[in-house]
Amino acid sequence: MVTARLAGIGAALPPAYEQDRLWEDVFRWHFSRSRVAQRIFTGSDVRRRHSATDPAEFKAVADWSTAERMRRYSEIAPPLGLEAVRNALEDAGTDPDEIGLLAVATCTGYRTPGLDIEIARMLPLPADTRRLLIGHTGCHAALPALATVADYVAAHDRPAALLCLELTSLHLQPATIDPEQMVSHALFADAAAAVVLRPETAAGLRVIDVDARTDTARRHQMTWDVTDLGFRMGLSPEVPDSLAEHVGPLVKDLLGRHGHDVQDVAAWAVHPGGPRILDAIEDGLGLDPSALATSRKVLAEHGNCSSATVLLVLQEILAAGPPPGPVVALAFGPGLTLYGALLE
């Protein structure tokens, strides 16, 4: 059986802004100098993050209709996504003409023809390239998308590409005293990240397995609602404890099917949803604090970029050289859903 390998990875990042300046210049006033909001921003562990929207526009964006936000998405997303995919193709030594499937995951913008069509047009991709748009799945979308792309490569013996692109800055909400909104505004950022998978004859990490857990009884703990003023995040403070409960069994099953246990894992690419989530995963798996250092670095340098973030963590890991053993990627989103991928 053909196995898909991660042959290339690339990213495209909008301008970066220091978290301290964002607080002082924008959010201090947006949240009416709330001390609660200040503590949340200070405790976010984010030092800087990327925004395709100029912070000088944030006050106006908060009052934009959803239609206005989607128009801006349609302007910004295609060139950013194109850059990320081109970088991944170059890293993989792959021409666009070789790509049999392009999957695009995004939960922050929609139109038809969509981002997948725009990327296919601009690269350009062959007319027979399949396209798959995975929408409104949230922060964990990269891993089910990776599973789908890997299955295509294995079944068709042809390279495929995955793009995760999120412009969370377009969904700044009107001023509020809701702590959940303070948390989301302190964490989320913009980014595009892409991977190219090739059949097993290529170099790179093999996609061995992907597993999931969904706790529908806790589906209310993480939400992403379409409103007249953009998309509104709901993030319960119970999420870290819920993830800690499920992550151990998920990882045990994922590794055990392939003769591994937690001690065998050489690197952890964990979606840094926030510092409390990383702490919960660390505790739930009994990991040494150093195990999630790369995830904490990505959180500090980029913020939470929704679906693109776990790929940014994976890119950091691979930049240090091929890991000497299995890699586990973990991501979490609405559902309440946990996804894990085993790479080797």
Residues carrying an active site annotation? 139
Q: At what angle do helices 275-285 and 293-302 cross, to 10 degrees?
A: 170
Amino acid (1-letter code) at residue 264: D
Amino acid (1-letter code) at residue 112: T
Would you list the DSSP string of 123-185? TTPPTT-EEEEEES--TTTHHHHHHHHHHHHHHH---EEEEEEEEGGGGPPPP---HHHHHHH
Q: How far apart are CA 243 and CA 288, in angstroms?
A: 18
Q: Are 32 and 176 in contact (CB under 8 A)?
A: no
Q: What are phi and psi of 65, to 5 degrees?
A: -70, 165
* DSSP β-ladder status, 327-333 and 337-343: antiparallel
